[in-house]
């Protein structure tokens, strides 16, 4: 038998005045979900409780198919508006509706028995969207715009059965796999590791695999009537904020410190997410977080009220370019950030959300608020004094969808009141909801499912052998070899009989994924220790630190005993989510807690053993002492590699089968001294990142060693002079001069001869990752876009006639810390100056 007891909540906005929320939902295998729902419905009906104007919000609890037994699930919202006003409808008719809209065979809401123009797949998208929105009441639009969040009150956007429109979950993340949702998903490396690959192809591959799994799971969720948090097909991914400060807790979610590279990697990732069908998208991608948001989150102040003072030059040359590239790549959405920019909260910032995104860049998609950001206009920014005004300024500025903190009354539930009070125009509200339905149309929700190949995906695509192998390959491509004295790596296992593994990150499963990871069965993953145990049958392991990576203390005697009389010591240190993540900034770049002291003890007591240091972190660390120590033989930066951590470490450290030479490059500058880093609240780019740093760092942006060496030659320009908007064609040869096959990362930088201009010291203008067999030479043709030498001055883009420097090789030019390859330099000339607007 089953118990479908329900509680009734009133005191809501009239548009959602009745909510049935189950205290418990238990049903046996011979009872359908619909029967349980109807039991709840009948129970309340027979209790003489009023059902207002045919509005019914049912919260369903579904069984998980992960195992054979029935499990309780998150409460799942479902709104059903009945066709006959004032009547709840008959029980059987309601049951038919629940089955019809909750248990579809695909994620399409096209049923063939409606004749509305918006359901006609032969009409243009705009006509279909206009027709659909014209049929909605203002109250229905309000709910669609208010339900973009998570948990039972905030998601899904409710169904509109009278029009054949089902519910939809917006809040989904897939930066490196289908994140934070029940049931398995392949866990690729955290985003900063993806960026370290310096490979657009890697980003495309991860975007593709992540979207296939996300869409397959989404389709199955819809078939089962599951509309829980993170079960949708609209990814709030990727995060492309410029990681300008190493202490920011969210460095790990970004693509590093360079705006050009971040934009290019985002474009490839979006292409992978969307798929290549001419009509439908597999999932929709959206770039986060507009704009000038890169700390602080909580140190020294909270992000919810922080105001970033940004010059116009920095805004257009550093903080906005990646988002502009997202528009060019076809992003479906943007998320506005928590902070204010020059006194105006991002989600109320009409200059950015409308003037820049929509008017200048012709963006046609939707803007979603970060979670709770609309409410923070009242509570933290004090920008307005009530939720009606918050809804009005948010919609007016250009925010289409609210993601709230699971509130019964989120700010956008005041949209109708704002219209009634003359603070919003209804026509604008109708325009703001249109991108939401356009997005759902492109997902195929209103077309015959047989026309959409993505509707046939299901959960069988999750953690396939192909995706597991790809996770290993991508993790290995993310590793950056920072130090390798006398070719300590790759290891020859037979040379080491007595091996120690020590450190707080060696066997911490929950710390290898980074913030907001995909959920998965542990059988898919290996920790570093497990990977090393595959290499060395006998090894001595101790974590030594207490409180995991926080390492508040450690047992010095145990540390000495662990490393005593060893041939090889592998020390695995780092941060993990305990130390850095969203809403958790670092105060400095030092190793956490007592880790530095522990490492110094290892160095002092290792005897003649080789010492390999593996680092697992996101933001750069202060490793000057380890880099300069002659007793640290190798340093390998691994970031947060995800499920393939142990397997990738095993293969790279031994160069298994000669195919796993590391070739990752640092996507962030690692500073030599703490005083090189300006205060986090200072948003000026002067002195920040490789583009504006005038002193020598420990490890420069783009730095990384290999098990091989490379030589560049024959740098030639197709023409030594170009027009302002003419691309530069470059040819160059690169040879793998070393003993092993390896990838190499080609980097080209431009510089302005006139440094009095408001320009960076240098700017990355081209990058790519290629593979060369030992002794192989490749002749390459490169194109450098004219956009790279444009700079912002006096409210417009400017290209200045004159001489430009060009340097190409495997690293930045003129660096104190070098890799063993050369950099070639030349010059080209821009023939004429030009000014132009920011419009696309």
Beta bridge partners of 463: none
More confident residue, 114 or 387: 387
Q: What pLDDT, in 10s, does the model give residues 148-197?
A: 998 889 999 999 999 999 999 999 999 999 999 888 999 999 999 999 99
Judgement on whether residues 483 and 456 belong to the same structural domain of the protein: no
Check whether residue 360 and residue 419 sit in a common domain: yes
Q: Does residue 25 register a pLDDT over 60?
A: no
Do the domain assignments include residue 686? Answer: yes
Same domain for 429 and 517: no
Out of 661, 692, 723, a domain closes at: 692
What confidence tier does 519 reach under pLDDT thresholds 50, 70, 90? confident
User: Within this chain, do residues 409 and 271 fall inside the same structural domain, yes or no?
Assistant: yes
Residues 267 and 131 grouped into a single domain:
yes
- φ/ψ bin of 503: left (φ > 0), alpha (ψ from -120 to 50), beta (otherwise): left
123-162: pLDDT as tens digits: 999 999 999 999 999 999 999 999 999 888 999 999 999 9
The H or E element that residue 636 is part of is strand 634-637
735 shares its domain with 675: no
**213-226 mean pLDDT:** 97
d(CA 438, CA 25): 35
What CATH number did the domain enclosing 537 receive? 3.40.50.1700
CA distances from 708 to 210, 743, 807 (A): 32, 9, 22
For residue 520, the model assigns a pLDDT of 86
Here the CATH number for the domain that contains residue 831 is 2.60.40.10
Asked if the structure places residue 360 within a domain, the reply is yes
Rounded distance between C-alpha atoms, residue 399 and residue 354, angstroms: 9
* Statement: residue 69 has pLDDT above 70: no
Residue 419 has pLDDT above 50, yes or no: yes
Question: In 631-647, which positions are buried (b, 16+ CB within 10 angstroms) versus exposed (e)?
Answer: bbbbbbbbbbbbbbbbb
* pLDDT score recorded for residue 17: 28
Give the up-direction half-sphere exposure of residue 552: CA atoms within 13 A in the CB hemisphere. 3
* pLDDT score of 150: 87
Domain-located, residue 701: no
Judge if 199 and 53 occupy the same domain: no
| The pLDDT of residue 33 | 34
Name which of 106-115, 292-301, 724-733, 760-769 the model is least confident about.
106-115
Give the pLDDT score at 457.
98
pLDDT at 183: 87
The rounded distance, in Å, linking the Cα atoms of 221 and 215 is 10
d(CA 752, CA 386): 50
Cite the DSSP H helix spans in 147-298: 191-196, 200-223, 259-274
112: confidence class by pLDDT, cuts 50, 70, 90: low
Write down which residue in 413, 445, 461 finishes a domain: 461
Last residue of a domain, one of 643, 664, 692: 692
Average pLDDT over residues 479-494: 98
User: Encoding tokens for residue 330?
Assistant: 């076809």
Give the span between the Cα atoms of 129 and 4, in whole angstroms: 38
Which element (helix H / strand E) includes 771?
strand 763-772
Give the pLDDT confidence score for residue 71 in this predicted structure: 26
What's the whole-number mean pLDDT along residues 64-91? Answer: 29
Report which DSSP code applies to 33: H
What's the whole-number mean pLDDT along residues 49-74? 29
Task: Count structural domains, the chain.
Answer: 4
Tokens of 297: 């989150």
**CATH code of the domain in which 433 resides:** 3.20.20.300
Distance CA 597, CA 544 (A): 12
Q: Tell me, what's the pLDDT at 661?
A: 98
Q: Would you tell me how many other CB atoms lie within 10 Å of the CB of residue 412? A: 31
Residues 291 and 439 in one domain: yes
723 belongs to a structural domain: yes
pLDDT per residue as tens digits for the range 526-575:
999 999 999 999 999 999 999 999 999 999 999 999 999 999 999 999 99
**Section 289-304 average pLDDT:** 97
Mean predicted confidence (pLDDT) in 343-369: 98
| Mean pLDDT, rounded, of the chain | 89
Whether residues 414 and 479 fall in one domain: no
Indicate whether 744 and 809 sit together in one domain. yes
- Average pLDDT score over residue span 274-280: 98
For residues 241 and 689, what is the distance between their CA atoms, to the nearest angstrom?
13
In a domain, 213, yes or no: yes
Q: Is residue 107 part of a domain?
A: no
Residue 169 lies in a domain: yes
CA–CA gap between residue 316 and residue 322 (Å, rounded): 10
CA 510 to chain centre: 19
Of residues 314, 340, 228, 333, the one with CA closest to residue 273: 333
How large is the angle between the packed helices 645-654 and 528-535, nearest 10 degrees?
Answer: 40
CA separation for the pair 281, 531 (Å, rounded):
38
Q: Report which of 346, 333, 334, 270 is spatially closest to residue 306, judged by C-alpha positions.
A: 346
pLDDT above 70 (res 79): no
Catalytic annotation, residues: 370
Strand-pair partners of 163: none
Taking residues 768-786, report their average pLDDT. Answer: 98
Estimate the share of the chain in helix, then strand, then coil, as percent rounded to the nearest 5.
35, 20, 45
- The pLDDT of residue 3 is 31
Rounded Cα–Cα distance for residues 82 and 51 (Å): 11
115: confidence class by pLDDT, cuts 50, 70, 90: confident
- 39 and 77 in a common domain: yes
Residues 305 and 333 in one domain: yes
Give the residue with greater pLDDT, 725 vs 85.
Answer: 725
Is the pLDDT score of 57 beyond 60? no
Q: SS3 for 826?
A: strand
| 270 domain residue, yes or no | yes
Range of the domain at 415: 117-461
């Amino acid at each position: 038998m089953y118990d479908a007891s329900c509680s009734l909540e009133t005191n809501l906005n009239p548009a959602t005045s009745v909510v049935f929320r189950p205290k418990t939902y238990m049903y046996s295998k011979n009872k359908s979900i619909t029967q349980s729902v109807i039991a709840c419905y009948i129970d309340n009906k027979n209790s003489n409780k009023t059902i207002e104007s045919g509005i019914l919000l049912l919260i369903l609890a579904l069984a998980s198919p992960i195992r054979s037994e029935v499990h309780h699930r998150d409460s799942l919202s479902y709104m059903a508006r009945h066709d006959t006003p004032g009547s709840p409808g008959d029980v059987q008719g309601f049951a038919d509706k629940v089955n019809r809209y909750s248990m579809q065979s695909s994620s399409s809401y096209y049923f063939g028995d409606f004749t509305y123009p918006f359901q006609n797949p032969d009409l243009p998208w705009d006509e279909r969207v206009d027709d659909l929105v014209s049929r909605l009441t203002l109250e229905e639009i309000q709910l669609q715009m208010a339900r973009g969040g998570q948990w039972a009150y905030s998601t899904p956007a409710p169904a509109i059965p009278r029009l054949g429109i089902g519910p939809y979950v917006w809040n989904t993340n897939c930066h490196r796999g289908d994140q934070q949702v029940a049931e398995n998903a392949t866990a690729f490396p955290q985003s900063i590791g993806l960026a370290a690959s310096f490979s657009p192809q890697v980003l495309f591959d991860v975007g593709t695999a992540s979207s296939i799994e996300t869409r397959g799971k989404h389709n199955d969720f819809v078939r089962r009537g599951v509309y829980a948090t993170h079960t949708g097909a609209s990814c709030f991914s990727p995060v492309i904020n410029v990681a300008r400060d190493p202490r920011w807790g969210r460095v790990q979610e970004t693509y590093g410190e360079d705006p050009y590279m971040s934009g290019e990697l985002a474009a490839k990732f979006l292409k992978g997410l969307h798929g290549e069908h001419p009509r439908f998208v597999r999932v929709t991608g959206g770039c986060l977080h507009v704009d000038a948001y890169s700390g602080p989150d909580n140190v020294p102040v909270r992000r919810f009220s922080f105001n970033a003072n940004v010059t116009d030059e920095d805004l257009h040359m550093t903080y906005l370019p990646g988002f502009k590239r997202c528009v060019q790549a076809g992003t479906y959405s943007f998320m506005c950030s928590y902070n204010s920019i020059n006194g105006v909260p991002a989600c109320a910032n009409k200059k950015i959300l409308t003037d820049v995104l929509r008017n200048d860049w012709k963006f046609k998609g939707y803007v979603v608020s970060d979670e709770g950001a609309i409410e923070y206009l009242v509570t933290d920014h004090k920008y307005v004094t009530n939720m009606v005004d918050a809804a009005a300024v948010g919609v007016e500025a250009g925010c289409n969808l609210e993601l709230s903190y699971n509130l019964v009354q989120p700010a956008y539930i005041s949209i109708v009141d704002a219209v009634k009070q003359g603070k919003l125009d209804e026509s604008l509200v109708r325009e703001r909801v249109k991108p939401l339905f356009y997005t759902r149309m492109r997902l195929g929700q209103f077309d015959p499912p047989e026309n959409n190949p993505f509707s046939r995906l299901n959960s069988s695509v999750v953690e396939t052998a192909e995706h597991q192998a790809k996770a290993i390959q991508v993790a290995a491509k993310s590793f950056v070899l920072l130090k390798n004295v006398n070719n300590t790596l790759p290891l020859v296992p037979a040379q080491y009989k007595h091996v120690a593994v020590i450190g707080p990150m060696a066997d911490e499963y929950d710390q290898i994924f980074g913030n907001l990871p995909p959920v998965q069965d542990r059988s898919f993953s290996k920790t570093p220790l497990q990977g090393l145990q595959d290499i060395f049958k006998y090894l001595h392991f101790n974590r030594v630190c207490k409180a995991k990576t926080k390492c508040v203390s450690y047992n010095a005697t145990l540390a000495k005993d662990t490393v005593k009389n060893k041939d090889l010591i592998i020390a695995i240190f780092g941060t993990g989510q305990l130390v850095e993540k969203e809403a958790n900034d670092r105060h400095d770049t030092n190793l956490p807690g007592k880790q530095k002291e522990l490492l110094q003890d290892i160095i002092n007591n290792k005897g003649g053993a080789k010492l390999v240091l593996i680092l697992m972190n996101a933001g750069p660390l202060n490793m000057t002492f380890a880099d300069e120590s002659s007793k640290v033989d190798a340093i390998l930066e691994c970031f947060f590699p995800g499920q393939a951590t142990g397997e990738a470490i095993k293969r790279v450290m031994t160069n298994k089968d000669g195919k796993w030479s590391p070739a990752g490059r640092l996507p962030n500058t690692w500073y030599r001294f703490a005083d090189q880093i300006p205060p986090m609240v200072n948003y000026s780019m002067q002195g920040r990142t490789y583009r504006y740093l005038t002193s020598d760092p420990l490890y420069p942006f783009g730095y990384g060693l290999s098990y091989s060496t490379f030589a560049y030659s024959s740098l030639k320009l197709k023409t030594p002079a170009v027009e302002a908007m003419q691309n530069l064609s470059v040819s160059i040869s690169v040879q793998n001069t070393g003993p092993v096959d390896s990838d190499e990362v080609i980097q080209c930088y431009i510089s302005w001869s006139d440094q009095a201009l408001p320009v960076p010291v240098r700017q990355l203008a081209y990058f790519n990752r290629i593979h060369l067999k030992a002794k192989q030479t490749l002749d390459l043709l490169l194109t450098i876009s004219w956009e790279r030498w444009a700079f912002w001055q006096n409210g417009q883009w400017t290209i200045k006639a004159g001489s430009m420097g060009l340097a190409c090789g495997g690293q930045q030019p003129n660096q104190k810390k070098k890799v063993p390859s050369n950099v070639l330099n030349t010059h080209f000339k821009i023939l004429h100056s030009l000014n132009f607007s920011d419009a696309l």
